Amino acid sequence: MDSQPKMPSGYSVKLPSDLEYIPPLRQFVAEIARVEGFSKKFCFRTEIIVDELVTNGILHGSQDVHSEITLEARFEEGTMNLSVQDQGGTRQNLENLKRAVYSPKPPSNDKKKGRGLVIVQMLSSEIKIDLGENGQTQVHVVKTKDPDDSQAQKEKLLYESDL
Amino acid sequence: MRISQQVSSHDERIVLLHFEGDLNASDCEATSKIFQEIIDSKKYFIVALMENVTFVSSPFLGELMGCKLRLVEKGGNMVIVGLNYDLRERLIQMGADKIFQFYPDTHTAYNHYHWEYTQTAQVVTITLPPKLQSVPAVRRFIAGIAKQKGYTARDSFRIETIVDEIANNAIEHGDSTQPEISVELRIDRKKFELLVRNKTLMDKANQLKYVLEANKETAQTGDTRGRGLALVKLISNSINVSIDKSGTEVKITKMREDS
């Protein structure tokens, strides 16, 4: 068991802008959230958030085949700070992203796309966008422990004993 | 049917063919002529864009298969992009998924092209806190990438074993004050390279180098530990260790078994 004092844990992953990487990446982030003491429900929701943000980054941000996506996850007591950075898409893509984040509105029933960020909003505590100096887009999500996460520490101990 | 073509701005060896409407038997002849013109112009990679296609008849599918065969003979390929769900299901029922790769968008098709034909390695870099509990997630992540990229289950399992051993060593034997360790994966169609960097106390790092270079195991009879690196040597193709004041870097290369 970890006997060290609780310090923030930071993880980062830089990977090619390729949809094939998303399934293992989202499972990785969910698994490290579990290691950091969050509940199964929290981790499953994190998996959905990662899937959505990274898919958006690949399809609308890092569109060049040689470009990359960077994901950072930082865990502090009861809070996960997640950020996904892409190389920056077109002005229209950025406008669409801002609209989806700052004035979310579910699309009409006949639209096939546009629900992802609405779901991310529902599953997270805070979401914001930063623009880098070289045009990169960074989406930050803060997700705090759910009120019914009191069992998480107990589950963590059971999980560690299984490893 | 409407059909238009353009050379990809991404790579001039790739031709994008936009199809629209119903692709009927009566369209085969005109399409065959277009395919032949493309092949005659020495362009052997075609991305068939079918976002706006509403129907594909079996004779037309046969025409696409014939074209793909001609391209493959020339060392090229044809992939299909943007099929809607219903059409994709119908083509799968017709067995087309055994002949063609289907991709949701051109970006993914280009990624496939680079992976298959340019032998460019893809790089993934992970930094993590030196916590042994994080290693299972890292090893499963990297093995998952290998599987996604078409490595066999046996290769992926061996890669998982290598990552587990090297990452555990980096944490367990590394400097206890190191803030993070770095794991870098370089993967292409033929080989997998793993680089693990950490801060190590010099005496431990030299011990590691001795174990590897002298081709000896640290374990004596009765010891329960120390066989990990011997196992890694068995299942990989090369191991290199470089040590300096900034830290230790272990580099493992493993060739893909079915390459």
Q: What is the ipTM of this complex?
A: 0.84
Closest-CA residue of A relative to B124 is A15
Q: Which residue of B has its CA nearest to A70?
A: B125
- Give yes or no: residues B251 and B127 share one domain: yes
Position with higher pLDDT, A147 vs B235: B235
Residue (of B258, B140, B240) closest to B191 by Cα position: B258
d(CA A105, CA B33): 48
- HSE-CB of B233 using CA atoms within 13 angstroms: 15
Q: Give dist(CA B29, CA B34) in Å, integer.
A: 9
Its domain, for residue B157, covers 122-255
State the average pLDDT for chain B. 89
* Residue range A143-160, pLDDT digits in tens: 998 766 655 565 665 666
The number of domains in chain B is 2
| Beta strands across the sheet bearing B77-81 | B2-7, B14-23, B45-56, B77-81, B102-103
CATH code, domain with B27: 3.30.750.24
pLDDT tens digits, one per residue of A55-93: 999 988 888 888 999 999 999 988 999 999 999 877 777
Please say which residue of B118, B142, B158 terminates a domain.
Answer: B118
Last residue of a domain, one of B67, B92, B118: B118
- In this structure, whether the domain defined by A11-104+112-158 belongs to CATH 3.30.565.10 is answered with yes
The CATH number of the domain where B150 resides is what?
3.30.565.10
Phi, psi for A88 (deg, rounded to 5): 95, 130
Closest CA to B24 of B47, B46, B2, B6: B2
Residue with tokens 């890292």: B138
**Are B132 and B114 part of one and the same domain?**
no
Q: What integer is the mean pLDDT of B135-152?
A: 96
Interface-testing mutation among B108, B132, B151, with chain A (most A C-beta atoms within 10 A):
B108
- Taking the CA of residue A41 and the nearest CA in chain B, the distance in Å comes to 18
The angle formed by the CA atoms of residues B76, B82 and B85, to the nearest 5 degrees, is: 125
- Residues from chain B that touch A12, judged by Cβ atoms under 8 A, are 125-127
B130 and B240, same domain (yes or no)? yes
User: Do residue B95 and residue B69 come from a single domain?
Assistant: yes
Choose the final residue of a domain: B84, B118, B152: B118
Same domain, B145 and B248: yes
Query: What is the pTM (predicted TM-score) of this model?
Result: 0.83
**B156 and A50 Cβ atoms separated by less than 8 Å:** no
